[in-house]
Structure 1
Amino acid sequence: MPESLPDLEPDASSGRARKARVVMTVFNTFQHDTRVYKQCKSLIEWGCEVDVVCIHKGDLPREETQDGIRVHRVSPSPFALLRLVLFLFYWPSTALMRRLLNRKPPQVAAMVSGPSRLRRMVQWLLFPIRAPYRGFRWLISKRPRRWPDWMNPEAAPKGLAWLLILMRWFLWWFAYYPAFWLYRRLRAAHRGFRRWRTRNRLTIRHARSFGRRIILKIFHPAIIVNLAGLDLARKAISLRPTLMLSHDLNTLVAGVIVKRMCEVPLVYDSHELYVERNIGHRSRTIDRFFWSRVERRCMKRVDLAFSVAQGICDWLSERYQHPNVRLIRNVQPFEPPTTPSMRWQRDLGIPEGTPVGIYAGAITINRGIEQLIDSAAHLEHTAYVIMGYAFQEAYLEGLKTRARELGVLNQRVFFKDAVPMHEVISVVASARVSVVPTQNVCLSYFFEASNKIFHSLMAGVPVAMSDHAEKRMIVENYEVGVLFDETSPESIAKAVESLVLDDAQHAQAASNCLKAAQELNWEHEEFRYRTAMKSLLGDEIGTIPPVRLGTEAAVS
């Protein structure tokens, strides 16, 4: 028998008021995603139940609880589409079984004015065959579609309900069962392959690498991502959410499926301008062609959208004519100024008294790290520290080779491993200036205001950064640093040195950073986030608490 499917109807028989249940989907392992974690904690403290459906990799547990957040990890499977089809085939079964267990059918007024009795009988007999077709129609339609009242399965005569159940079993054995039999055989073969894989790990690693290259040549990565999203949708449906929240465009298709199946509000959190994001050396034309069409169709079904920058919010609102796109910045919870930690500078061999310009973020392509290293040759008083996690070890070694060839490695440029999130601010606080040289290679980078900027504000460290839209707005409104031309090493070096050597300008910018941190923090964004979610959850959630920074409270 196929696995049991959830009853999508609200549980009114128990008489208990169920907490608002928010289900989030994210296309990662939910280990280092601080934005999703902050939203989860905010909703839990507000009285919601929160489940996160994410991707399973390696030896991570498939089910766990992190600080009250229920985490469900699923493995993308090629059988996801078959599971979805089976779900649509069985979609009306629970209503039929409920009718068989009830003594009296519910009073349906439309049955009196509906079609003739003979016509109703004929259409009811066609019900098991029409269910899959109508299920697909209902899934992709713009408006919710329901069975007419006179075709309500719970209102069917009991004898007819028994006949319909028998017809469904007949169709199961002669139509659905062969497909399910094939699915079970393939799944058993897959289990055998997994056992064989444990004994041949090296061979499998080479085969997977070769197969991945072949698949990516045949199928665009976006197609593979959306097929994996079916597994996320299937798990999310089984959790019976009150509200669905999709993080980034790569899980929005799954969110739309859950919205259609469970008839719940859908929220879309765009962590970046996905159709114009940094994709390295892949074809931007093909990627934009596919994802822009996915986003255009899905945005019609989104009830509320968030993004991390005002420019991205305006872009989404204008492009898709969506009236409800709101700004929720990717900022950190407020922390009072901490004592700088100088030990790590001595460990790196930086001479005492040397001003430090720190880059604290991901070490990857198009973040301007190459230009930052080139600018070190123009420095006279400052040393750079590049701190973060490298996604590709070869790329990190290439950066070190570049610095070595320029003669600045371990003299003007130092590399440091990433530190835990709770130590970032104390490490940044020991620097003289924070440097953000992100390159304008895509519209997403032009609009973004990365969280490394807000870390610097919390630490009271002035920022030298690229002259992009959101960064320019922060500098103009709060006067927390300077801007430079990110493509010019000379411009980067000049901006950094001017901020380091001018004590009056540096002191004023550092003071402004601490003032800006009083406003640009998660406590203020959390208040706006809860206000937006309240419009969808309504009376299922309590009142919105005021903004509180540490021991001081301020009502926003």
Structure 2
Amino acid sequence: YNTWKKIEKFAVPKFPHGYTVNGIIGDEFKKMYGVEYGVIRSISLLRSFDVPEKKERFILYQGAVNEGRSFETLIPAMKDVDAKLIICGNGNFMAEAVRLVREQALQHKIIFRGQLIPEDLIQITRQAYIGLTLFDKKGLSNYYSLANRFFDYIHALVPQVCVDYPAYSEINNLHRVAVLIAEPDAVSIAKAINLLLADADLYKNLQDGCRLASQVLNWQNEERKLISFYKIVLESN
């Protein structure tokens, strides 16, 4: 952390033109370094598709299996959930995650698929019943995050359980796409997942919210902003 912070302090003030992934981080940069950074979010491409029949109501975690992604609480939470969890990804917490699954005797319920090619990941995301966007509240990087998977679930029309951190709650207030939890502890995670499994009306409302959100929050719109950003930079030089 300290190394990256030193790089940030050195580099950010030297680049008056820049962009970051959300306005909350942009506000922090302005406060700390006096720079006005734009916002270009890493959002999924809008694609049309037929929503597949959800033959098995499984929960999906996609992304890096890294420290700080709440696996210490997610894995034991699955003892109280009547559904399978599929984990797609790899990372520095993989060995520990596998150990925790064995320790909790959940090998029958939690399945590690490893890293998938993008098209395969899109397909399995569309088949999922619930997505997960979880981060421990350790450091501003996690607290101010806006993960790609948050948008991947939206574009797959998959309601999700998500941490109630600023960037996610800001979007969820505009487009209701997720059940937000204040803390990613085992009880809260299990309760939120079970709510989505049990409440068909809530699930449908969130799925409709995903459909509306995807029409606004997509790469086609972000791409226009990115092109406009570079035009302004080039014209100013």
**TM-score with structure 2 setting the length:** 0.92
1:404 to 98, 102, 110: 102
Aligned ranges for residues 258-297 of structure 1 at < 5 Å?
A: 284=1, 287=2, 291-297=4-10
How far the C-alpha of 1:529 sits from its partner, in A, is 1.0
8 Å contact kept, 1:480–1:509: yes
Which of 432, 435, 448 aligns to 2:132? It is 435
- 2:154 and 2:165 map into 1 onto residues whose CA distance is 18
In 1, Cα distance between equivalents of 2:97 and 2:9: 39
Contact 1:312/1:444, CA 8 A, preserved across alignment: no
Structure 2 partner of 1:329: 41
Q: Which residue of 2 aligns with 1:125?
A: none
CA contact (8 A) 2:22 2:39 kept: yes
Contact 2:74 2:185 in 1 (8 A): no
- 2:17 equivalent among 304, 308, 312: 304
Q: CA RMSD in A?
A: 2.1
In the alignment, the residues of structure 2 paired with residue 291 and residue 400 of structure 1 have an alpha-carbon distance, to the nearest angstrom, of: 29
Q: Secondary structure at the residue paired with 1:319?
A: helix
Tell me if 1:374 matches 2:76.
Answer: yes
Contact 1:361 1:452 in 2 (8 A): yes
Name the SS for the 1:300 alignment partner: helix
C-alpha distance 325-356 of structure 1, shift in aligned 2 (>3 A): same
Deviation at 1:376, TM superposition (A): 0.6
1:485–1:492: 8 Å Cα contact kept in structure 2?
A: no
Q: Which residue of 1 aligns with 2:110?
A: 413
Report the 3-state secondary structure (helix = DSSP H, G, I; strand = E; otherwise coil) of the residue aligned with 1:296: helix
Which amino acid counterpart does residue 391 of structure 1 have in structure 2? G
CA shift for structure 1 position 472: 1.2
What's 1:383 paired with?
84
Which of the two has higher C-alpha Rg? 1
Q: Show CA shifts across 1:480-525 (max 9, x none).
A: 0111144410110000110121111101111110110111111111
Instruction: Tell me the CA shift for residue 391 of structure 1.
Output: 3.0
Task: Tell me the amino acid that sits aligned with residue 199 of structure 2.
Answer: D
Change (3 A) 1:460 1:306: same
In the superposition, relative to structure 1, how do residues 309 and 404 fare at CA in structure 2: closer, same or farther (>3 Å)?
same
The 3 A distance-change label for structure 1 pair 338 and 422 is farther
Post-superposition shift, 1:467?
Answer: 1.4
Higher relative contact order (CA 8 A, sep 6+): 2
TM-score, normalised to structure 1, is: 0.41
User: What letter matches 1:458 in structure 2?
Assistant: H
1:358, 1:435 within 8 Å by CA — same for their partners in 2? yes
For 2:117 and 2:9, the matched residues in 1 are separated by 38
Residue 449 of structure 1: how far off its partner (Å): 1.1
Where structure 1 has 5 or more consecutive residues not aligned to the other structure, the ranges are: 1-283, 343-352, 541-556
Identity %: 22
Residues 409 and 317 (structure 1), Cα distance of their counterparts in 2 relative to 1, 3 Å cut: same
Instruction: Say whether residues 1:500 and 2:197 are aligned partners.
Output: yes
